[in-house]
Structure 1
Amino acid sequence: MTTAALRPAPQPTRDSTAAPVRFARRRDAAALVALSRPFARSGALRERPGSFYVSDAADFLVVDAPDGTLAGCLGLRAYAAAPLTGHQPMGVLFNFCVGSRSQGHGVGARLLYAALARARTLSLAALFTATTGTGDLFLRHGFAPASSAQAPVAWADSLDPRRNSTVLSRAL
């Protein structure tokens, strides 16, 4: 697996007034749709139906904004080991977005840090993500370019080659 040199991930700023990262609930589905919609329309995120956010709400970590909306979200899906391919349990980060009013305030870093902690709790060997952007936040947290062939097969097969995404991974 291709990974960057292991170094401790930067710790997010600890602002005592900041809302904590929490797991999303089914009732957060409409807020997840509203937060994700501008990013999907811009092409930064894959368009997903509202039913996806209802059925998969438990896969999301979220941060609440002071106005009651969501400041940001990040999905984490775990994939079981695949002995025939030699893959250990792995995870995929998806649908990572931070609302425009919350950008630059550490929300994204807090979400990513929480996802890394959750992945360790789940004993995942590695995390993967695909990005159409620069991936700078991921790179600062120890991710490195990787081949989709190293990722969970079901996820890798779902990647749309027309999006020209860069696959990144991090060993845990």
Structure 2
Amino acid sequence: MTTATPRQATLSPRVLDSPGLPPVSLRPARPEDAAALAELSRPFVRAGALRERPLSLYARQAADFLVAETPGGTVDGCIGLAAHAADASAGRPAAGVLYNFCVAGRRQGCGMGARLLNAALARARSRSLRSLFTATTGEGHLFLRHGFAPASASLAPAAWAQSLDPRRNALILARAL
């Protein structure tokens, strides 16, 4: 997975298994997870799939994240969901943006990304968001399998669309909820 977050705001302690690896459970992130989020994201930043974010930003925005954590406390996956209020003047309903979506290499290909994405979709619905957007420098196969489709940044929350770096040549994807 290159880039990159239950129907209720509270997550059930669903356990995810990968053969030969300790199980993980999904939970909301906490500010003290900031270092683990930064560490998990580092290989994706080096590969150009994610933008670099300072540790302080992960701490401030911890409430945006869902994490997949082992019983020993290792964070093996995360997804951020930023909610954007409706913009009546632009005719845009409340929308969300998925960001900083990553899964540790040892966990890729075992369904963890799909489970994180489904949990983020449920979280977005519970917050009454009408649509979700994301930007990926990859092909976005996982998003496409979950109902996302290519979209124009002009349809996305304005603040997020303006923050996109055109040099990254990211694919913008959207999904109605």
Normalising by the residue count of structure 1, what TM-score does the alignment of the two structures yield?
0.89
Distance in structure 1 (CA, Å) of the matches to 2:111 and 2:155: 30
Indicate yes or no: 2:152 matched with 1:163. Answer: no
Matched, 1:39 2:55: no
Matches of residues 97-108 of structure 1 in structure 2 within 5 Å? 97-108=102-113
Report the counterpart of residue 152 of structure 1 in structure 2: 157
Distance 1:105 1:166 in 2: 24
Match of 2:6 in 1: none
Amino acid aligned to 2:37: L
**Identical aligned residues as a percent:** 64
Contact 2:79 2:102 in 1 (8 A): yes
Q: Secondary structure at the match of 1:34?
A: helix
- 1:90 corresponds in structure 2 to 95
Name the aligned partner's letter for residue 32 of structure 1: L
Distance in 1 (alpha carbons) for counterparts of 2:15 and 2:60? 32
1:45-64 matched pairs, under 5 angstroms: 45-64=50-69
Aligned residue identity for 2:44? F
Paired residue secondary structure (1:20): strand
Deviation at 1:65, TM superposition (A): 3.2
CA RMSD of the aligned region, Å?
Answer: 1.3
5+ residue gaps, structure 2, are: 1-13, 18-22
Aligned-pair distance for 1:19? 2.5
Q: Name whichever structure is richer in strand by fraction.
A: 2
Letter paired with 2:148: F
- What is the CA-CA distance between 1:104 and the residue it aligns to? 1.1
User: Scaled by the length of structure 2, what TM-score is found?
Assistant: 0.86
CA distance in 2: counterparts of 1:38 and 1:15, whole angstroms: 25
Distance of 1:121 and 1:15 partners within structure 2: 21
Tell me the residue number matched to 1:132.
137
Do the aligned partners of 2:29 and 2:66 also contact (CA within 8 Å) in 1? yes
Answer with 60-69 or 103-112: which moved more. 60-69
Runs of 4+ residues over 2 Å off in structure 1 = 14-20, 65-68
Greater displacement, 14-23 / 57-66: 14-23
Q: Which stretches in structure 1 are left out of the alignment for 5+ residues?
A: 1-13
